[in-house]
Amino acid sequence: MQTRVTTIAFSASCASIAALVALAGCSGSGMDRRIADLTREQSLRLRQELDGPTVPVVASGRAPGEAREKSPTSVNPRADELNFTAAAEDRDVAARLRRLLGQVNVDRQLLGDPERMAAEMMASTEGVEVQTITLEQAWQISQRTGREYLTAQEDYLLSAISLLQERHLWGPRLFNDTTVQLSDTLDNGDTDPALNVINTLRATQRLPSGGQLEARWLINATDYLRDQSSNEYRQSSELVLAGNIPLLRGAGSIAREDLIQAERDLVYQSRTFERFRRSYLVDIATDYFSLLQTRASIANQLRQLQSLRQFNQATQARVDAGRLQAFQTAITQNQVANAEVSLSELVEQYVLTLDRFKVRLGLPIDARLDIATDLPVLKEPDADPDEAAKIALQYRLDLQNSSDRLLDSRRGIDVAKDGLLPDLAVSGEVGVPTDPDNNSAGLNLSGDDTRYRIGATLSAPLDREQERLAVRTAQIRYERAQRDHSRLQDETVLSARRSARAVDRARFQLRIAEQQVDINRRRLRAQKLNEAEVQPQEIVDTENELLRAENARDAAQTALRTAILQYLLETDQLRVARDGTLQRLPGM
């Protein structure tokens, strides 16, 4: 008996089969109990209160093979495995503070005249190479190694990759499928096995209005494995052109929705990245200005400390001469001690701020880094609040993103409504096979045996509850997007106006602070000229007032520098060069 092997009919329409999976229900209390048991077990394992070997203290790095372990080990020793070393009561705290002062990288110009204090602060940095960077160099370094910058850049690249993936789906795509089948049929205890090899080379192309075209070349080779067959080997091929085009649901621009959104998302991400580069420049500059302000505070504190020490010596001399009572020296000694404590706190603040700055730049935490005191000149803008608001509404990139995303939300309603339409699609197929009477036709196609098929499928929307809910969801998201965009517009106006006022306010505060410094300096100079007639407490009060005025002046200078950059950022007039530095506008 001859066994007939039927080749796979690729021209037939594929039937869609929906598999229903029955989910076993469970009570809420049972689920809560299982969740509680699981979290309790994991917590006990972390605290090593479960039976098992003690986890050794190892390096934080993980081996690549551990990525597939369901329960990665935790380094969390028990209390009896740890050791606490108590500090000695008679330890030399002053020596530790001097070493702390030596950890900060400063130059002798900052330290002022007191050579002893300068020696203490420079003790641990003598002979160590220190890298001094300017503000522009800090900007450039942040573009190369800053973690925040690299992450934002990767987000931009990932958006571009997503677009390339979507574009590829809309281009011609080639596939090659090879299927090997061993078939057999049992007929009255007799068999005739056959080996069937089918190779399909196909190319697909999506259509702009929906659907796709496909051209495929099928080669079917069948080898009967027993001599019962009259022909042991059969080989045929067929060239097929097929297409499927929707007319209602999923037709038109709706078919390109994913591509349209991917294209627009790349534009949004480019704006977001450029906006980040500008805000990142301001953040780096703000950190730099903060370091300079802290250094200025250290210099002010050193000046006051030197002055108080000299005054303390003069007061002690007056006490020894019997012109002042002995308790007067306690006032000056107390102020000297307070100045020393304040100095150590400022140095600790500077060390911590400098370390954080190195982390932000992506530099090693142990790198010897210092910052230059020279800054590029930033001219103050003639900023009008109303004009600043108009410029911001026109130039702000994040506001442009919000406006375009509002259009996306509106388009989302149209996409959701498209789901309510019935499915109507036309399909067609034309195939040119080889001569069916030739068992080994090879590539000789037979036009006389050409076949074709044209059909249309209509699917009435009997159940569109999910689609109706999707429409309502899209409408709510659009209303929310409208509110968010309106709020962002208002916040943009407020921030632009505030940034314009901040420039003038910072300049006003700087002038007042400079006047206060001058007033207190003249007051202190006059008191020291008449030191014999002035009480020590009055001079100490003037010293404190002068220190506060100097610190207020330095803070106002920092606020003015920051306000200028912040104004440019809030109005989106800030421009960043390719190397990450500030690109000056005409007139700056």
Confidence of residue 583 (pLDDT cuts 50, 70, 90): very high
The CA distance from 422 to 119, in Å, is: 86
Task: Encode 9-30: b = buried (16+ Cβ within 10 Å), e = exposed.
Answer: ebbeeeeeeeeeeeeeeeeeee
| Angstrom distance (rounded) from CA 191 to CA 588 | 93
Give the CA-trace dihedral at 395, 401, 403, 408, to 10 degrees.
160
Strands 582-583 and 575-576 turn out to be antiparallel
Find the range with the poorest average confidence among 59-63, 239-243, 567-571: 59-63
Q: Which amino acid is at 306?
A: Q
Distances (CA, A) of 94 to 97, 123, 126, 317: 5, 14, 20, 27
Distance CA 223, CA 192 (A): 11
| Pairwise CA distance, residues 249 & 120, whole Å | 80
Helix (H/G/I), strand (E/B), else coil: 195: strand
The arithmetic mean of pLDDT across residues 55-61, rounded, is 48
Is the confidence at residue 522, as pLDDT, over 60? yes
Residue 5: predicted pLDDT: 33
The stretch 73-88 carries a mean pLDDT of 79
- Mean pLDDT, residues 505-521: 93
DSSP letter string over 301-364? HHHHHHHHHHHHHHHHHHHHTTSS-TTHHHHHHHHHHHHHHHHHHHHHHHHHHHHHHHHHHT--
What six digits make up the tokens of 384? 């009008």
Q: What is the pLDDT of residues 130-173, one digit of tens each?
A: 788 999 999 999 999 999 999 999 999 999 999 999 999 999 99
| CA-angle at 22, arms to 21 and 28, nearest 5° | 130
Backbone angles phi, psi at 427, to 5 degrees: -135, 150
Distance CA 340, CA 334 (A): 10
Query: CA nearest 192: which of 237, 219, 222?
Result: 222
Contact status, residue 46 vs residue 39, Cβ threshold 8 Å = no
What is the domain partition of the chain in residue ranges? 172-206+211-249+430-459
**pLDDT surpasses 60 at 27:** no
Which comes out higher in pLDDT, residue 543 or 416?
416
Quick: pLDDT tens for 483-509. Answer: 999 999 999 999 999 999 999 999 999
Beta-bridge mates of residue 426 = 245, 456
Asked whether 253 and 244 are in contact (CB, 8 A), the reply is no
pLDDT, residue 189, reads 60
In whole angstroms, give the CA distance from residue 154 to residue 226. 62
Percent of the chain scoring above 90 in pLDDT: 47
pLDDT band at 524 (very low <50, low <70, confident <90, very high): confident
Summarize the confidence of residues 119-127 as an average pLDDT: 43
Residue 440 per-residue DSSP state: B
pLDDT band at 83 (very low <50, low <70, confident <90, very high): confident
Is residue 233 pLDDT above 80, yes or no? no
Q: Does the pLDDT value for residue 184 go beyond 50?
A: yes
pLDDT tens, position by position, 280-329:
999 999 999 999 999 899 888 888 888 888 878 877 777 777 777 777 77
106 or 219, which is more confident: 219
Q: Which residues pair with 334 in a beta bridge?
A: none
Are 198 and 179 in contact by the 8 Å Cβ rule? The answer is yes
Mean pLDDT of 325-337: 80
Q: Which residues contact 483 (CB under 8 A, 6 or more apart)?
A: none
Whether 52 has a pLDDT exceeding 90, the answer reads: no
pLDDT for the residue 503: 94
- Does 205 have pLDDT greater than 90? yes
**Closest by alpha carbon to 195, among 206, 208, 184?**
184
